[in-house]
Amino acid sequence: MTIRNWLKFFINALLIGGVVTGVFGLFIRWNDAFAPFAERGEWGEFIAAFIWMIIVGFTMSVVSQMGFFAYLTVHQFGVGIFRSLRLWNWVQILIIAVVIFDLAFFRFATSAETAGEQMLYWGLLAVLLAVASAVAFLKAKWTKQSAFISSLFFMIVVTTLEWLPALMVRAENIDSWVALLLFPLLAVNAYQLLVLPKYNAKSDTDRVRLEERKAARRAGIGAANKKKA
């Protein structure tokens, strides 16, 4: 990917993370982060809280992008180590199953103390699996069928690893943060996975055009030198 296209890719992912966190933050954290300011008419504080949510989204976007490029490296290593995409896919399926089991029975079951919290965490798990399956389906449809397992692995396993710091914290209002931070991670990861081929293709086109311009420039210089001679 060219530097210019990478910058576009980075900025768009950054904006997606910020916007998604800001919008979902208004709903998920309304009672504790926004309602007190709205009730007292402190709109400056209200806007500051919204901007803070956007900054948090920017941070999650950067984390997501780091995870994405790390996974691309891990994927290549995995194919090389197991010397077969099919065998690597089976390994990824096993890891997916382990991660889902860990989330359900070691993270969520121990974190949920009430029926409402249990519903929240099981709902978040359902959202994670549903979005991951939809994105993997689209990736396989738009590229190749063999990309389904790898895409599912990235959307479930890597997203969970990026989400893990929030899941491990025990503090006041942590449930709302756990719920909120999942959405920018899913949105940015889905964006990266689905649009990367577009940016790679555009980068290839840009390189071809650059080489054509260089060739035309060299040809023009050569013709000018011949005229002078």
Q: How far apart are CA 185 and CA 62, in angstroms?
A: 10
Q: What pLDDT score does 116 carry?
A: 79
> 50 is written with which tokens?
């919204």
Q: What pLDDT score does 220 carry?
A: 64
Q: What pLDDT score does 9 carry?
A: 92
Q: What pLDDT score does 41 carry?
A: 87
Q: Are the beta carbons of 194 and 134 closer than 8 angstroms?
A: no
Residue ranges of the chain whose pLDDT lies below 70 = 111-112, 170-172, 210, 215, 219-229
Q: What pLDDT score does 157 carry?
A: 95
Q: What pLDDT score does 228 carry?
A: 61
Q: For residue 30, which amino acid is it?
A: W
- Please report, for the chain, the start and end positions of each structural domain, with discontinuous segments joined by +: 3-197
Q: How far apart are CA 158 and CA 142, in angstroms?
A: 21
Q: What pLDDT score does 223 carry?
A: 59
Q: How far apart are CA 136 and CA 114, in angstroms?
A: 33
Q: How far apart are CA 115 and CA 214, in angstroms?
A: 67
The pTM (predicted TM-score) of the whole model is: 0.88
Q: What pLDDT score does 175 carry?
A: 84
